Structure 1
Amino acid sequence: MNTDPIADYLTRVRNAIKANHRIVEIPASNLKKEITKVLFDKGYIANYKFEDTTTQGTIKIALKYNAITKIPAIRTLTRISKPGLRQYAGVDNMPRVLNGLGIAILSTSKGVMTDKEAAKLNIGGEVLCHVY
């Protein structure tokens, strides 16, 4: 049993990148689907597909690499808010990832979004992870 499904999601993606895999399969949940959509919208993954073959379903993520240098689009994936210590950020103290070059994925009352989108909507939330 996974006690932290988001950490498991991030670890599976991180391990697939280190092994230079093109596709990674992850057990699905609504929060994981939303995180996947944010990563796709911001250009960190090439494509994704939600499959509902089992009761839970799976997410297939096509990882993105540079065509020439083979460097992955995702350099670092860090879990911030953990089950033992939740990390929340208000509008005033929104995290800056890599001085604005990376993104922080937040779970807000309006759904899962990046730190910049949350700042535009003037809302805070739980900081799930940093991506750059």
Structure 2
Amino acid sequence: MKNYLWNMFANIQNGQLIRRNVIFQRRKKICEEFLKILWAEGFILGYKIDKKNENQVKIFLKYTNNKPVIRSIKFLSKPSRRLYQSAKQIWKINSNKSFIIFSTNQGLKAVTDCKKLGIGGEPFVAIN
């Protein structure tokens, strides 16, 4: 499951390093859920399913002043070392400095949504 996510985030980082406007990614449900969160938080311009190949997703990358919006992506929880944070631990996170996406029992949620709902989960990625 996570190999698709690691591929997607590596493609996004590499695409922004070479200043691409659009990148293509293999279409998976978990990747689309992450893209929804990234789009809602303003890290990408959008995404859509490719008309020619329905197994691919077009991701439109976002830049401000010719610099990528996503400066760095760090994977927090790995298959060899799983991390879990309770709702109390999530409240200690400063959400102004970094953006963290959690896998919860209610699906993928941003750190701000986890604070509102009072739930914990497994942190996947931190985006700066």
Q: CA deviation at 1:92?
A: 1.2
What are the superposed Cα offsets for residues 9-44 of structure 1, whole Å, 9 maximum, x if unpaired? Answer: 111111111111111111121111010000000000
Equivalent residue, structure 2, for 1:62: 60
SS at match of 2:126: strand
Equivalent position to 1:84, from 80, 83, 86: 80
TM-score where L is the length of structure 2: 0.89
Residue type of the alignment partner of 1:86: R
Equivalent residue, structure 1, for 2:67: 71
> Hey, what's the Cα distance between the residues in 2 that align with 1:64 and 1:42?
12
Q: CA deviation at 1:101?
A: 3.1
Equivalent residue, structure 2, for 1:111: 107
Specify every segment of 5 or more residues in structure 2 that has no aligned partner in the other structure, as ranges: none
**Aligned-pair identity (%):** 25
TM-score where L is the length of structure 1: 0.86
What are the superposed Cα offsets for residues 55-86 of structure 1, whole Å, 9 maximum, x if unpaired? Answer: xx1221100011xx201111111111111111
Specify every segment of 5 or more residues in structure 1 that has no aligned partner in the other structure, as ranges: none
Q: CA deviation at 1:3?
A: 6.9
> Hey, what's the Cα distance between the residues in 2 that align with 1:3 and 1:103?
19
Residue type of the alignment partner of 1:8: N
| RMSD value, Cα | 1.9
> How many matched pairs?
126
Equivalent residue, structure 1, for 2:122: 126
> Hey, what's the Cα distance between the residues in 2 that align with 1:51 and 1:17?
20
